[in-house]
């Protein structure tokens, strides 16, 4: 005789699996409306972000801040950058510091980067995130199986 599984068990399983969507716009996290990468690049320059950060593969004026900031944006990554991570990094950069030597990226334990929460519009923030998202290339790590 087959054992009956309650419908509620399937519903819970569906909810759990539905939240596992990978990618920068994961339904399990924060979601921004569509941004405009071209406007985002212009806002990135207008706010002077390029004076501290290089963006991999993008022709921008060279950073001028001293000492230099080692945080290069864009390029090849193994995990997608989420919209939520990028937004948080822009409006509250001290929340989760990048994994660089602390003396290169902090002053008195806080990020050297200014907080932009009260300096930019939501549209500008959305566009900057769209610009940055367009610069990341996801290359999943390939497991090594000991074959040589």
Mean pLDDT per block of 10 residues along the chain (148 residues) reads: 48 45 60 94 96 94 89 92 91 87 88 91 96 93 65
Domains in the chain, CATH or no CATH each = 31-138 (1.10.760.10)
Please tell me the predicted confidence (pLDDT) of residue 97. 83
Please tell me the predicted confidence (pLDDT) of residue 53. 94
Please tell me the predicted confidence (pLDDT) of residue 123. 96
Strand partners, 107: 110
Q: What is the pTM of this model?
A: 0.75
Please tell me the predicted confidence (pLDDT) of residue 10. 41
CB 16 within 8 A of CB 105: no
Helix count and strand count (H, E) for the chain: 5, 4
Instruction: Give me Rg for the CA atoms of the chain.
Output: 20
């Amino acid at each position: 005789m087959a054992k009956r599984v309650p419908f509620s068990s399937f519903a819970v399983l569906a909810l759990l699996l539905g939240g596992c969507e990978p990618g920068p716009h994961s339904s399990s996290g924060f979601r921004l409306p569509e941004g405009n990468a071209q406007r985002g690049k212009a806002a990135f320059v207008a706010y002077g972000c390029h004076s501290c950060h290089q963006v991999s593969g993008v022709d921008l004026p060279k950073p001028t801040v001293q000492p230099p900031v080692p945080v290069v944006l864009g390029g090849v990554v193994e995990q997608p950058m989420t919209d939520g991570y990028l937004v948080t990094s822009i409006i509250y950069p001290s929340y989760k510091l990048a994994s660089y030597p602390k003396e290169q990226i902090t002053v008195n334990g806080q990020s050297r980067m200014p907080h932009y929460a009260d300096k930019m519009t939501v549209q500008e923030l959305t566009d900057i995130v769209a610009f940055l998202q367009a610069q990341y290339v996801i290359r999943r790590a390939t497991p090594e199986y000991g074959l040589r």
